[in-house]
Amino acid sequence: MLKTEYANNILTAYIDGEIDHDSAVKIRTQVDGAAQSLKPRLLCLDFSGVSFMDSSGIGLVMGRYRQMKLIGGALRVVNIPDRMYRLFAMSGIEGLGVLR
């Protein structure tokens, strides 16, 4: 469901499959665990492997944004499939400048 990679102070999490309320809890635990121990400068969430998401995906991104701020790092969300972009647009998350 999740593969992480760490290089040059950047932690990349490749999210795979479906993001809903159920899976978001598991993804969050894994990503936060890695971020807490590595304290990266940048957390990069790669959505290219996401096949479905509901608003739990937005909660997941907003939560990681806050977590990264707490440890003095930044967040970036990359490779959002077109079909899911509408959810991000609705959330106002675009204004945070984390989407690529």
Q: Which residues bind another protein (CB under 8 A)?
A: 18, 20-22, 24-25, 28, 52-56, 58-60, 62-63, 83, 86-87, 90-92
Rounded distance, CA 90 to CA 73, Å?
25
**Shortest distance in whole angstroms from residue 2 CB to another protein:** 16
DSSP class per residue in 61-90:
HHHHHHHHHHTT-EEEEE---HHHHHHHHH
Least CB distance from residue 57 to another protein, whole Å?
9
Nearest distance from C-beta of residue 35 to another protein, angstroms: 15
